[in-house]
Amino acid sequence: MDELSYTIYINASPKEVWRAFVEPEGTRAIFFGTVLETDFKPGSEYKYVGPGNDGDHTVHVYGSILEFDENVRMSYTEHPGPSYRDNHAELETRITLTLELVGSTTKLMLVNDRWPDNHPSYASASGSWPIILSSAKTFVETGKTMDFGW
């Protein structure tokens, strides 16, 4: 399966963009109401938790931190939450988020790769990443979230 790769530019500093991806206010705004639980140390586990199939503390995705360079780069494995796929532990991909200062803007590059054959979440991920990245751009630049009518 092909990697999913996206590049966008956000009119903010890398630090401001970074906060949207790791702090509760930002993750709630761009990751469908979830918060990121981790200590960010390479090798540590993480999970995005929020309202969903299992109530207010549903684990939507989880995995391990591979690399963490604050305000610059974060890479981690990702599995769908247990309530989404019975074989969630077998369905591992990798996500790498890289931020680069370009003038007074931030170039955000996201790659979601290492897709196992026939991964059942590939189509939904390819549709979700543009929504998440558009929401991140809007949130960082305006402080508001996007309304997709859901």
Predicted confidence (pLDDT) per residue in 1-12, tens digit: 899 999 999 999
Long-range contacts, stretch 132-135, CB < 8 angstroms, 24+ apart: 132/30, 132/31, 133/6, 133/8, 133/108, 134/8, 135/29, 135/30
Mean pLDDT, residues 80-94 = 94
> What local confidence, expressed as pLDDT, does residue 126 receive?
96
Q: Residue 34 burial (CB < 10 Å; 0-12/13-18/19+)?
A: buried
Mean pLDDT, residues 16-20 = 98
> What local confidence, expressed as pLDDT, does residue 142 receive?
97
Q: How far is CA 58 from the centre of its chain?
A: 16
Q: Is the pLDDT assigned to residue 150 strictly greater than 80?
A: no
Domain 4-142, what fold? Alpha-D-Glucose-1,6-Bisphosphate; Chain A, domain 4 (3.30.530)
Return the amino acid letter for 22.
V
> What local confidence, expressed as pLDDT, does residue 64 receive?
98
Q: Where are the domains of the chain?
A: 4-142
Q: In the chain, what percentage of residues exceed pLDDT 70?
A: 100
Confidence of residue 149 (pLDDT cuts 50, 70, 90): confident
Task: Tokens for 139, please give them.
Answer: 């949130």
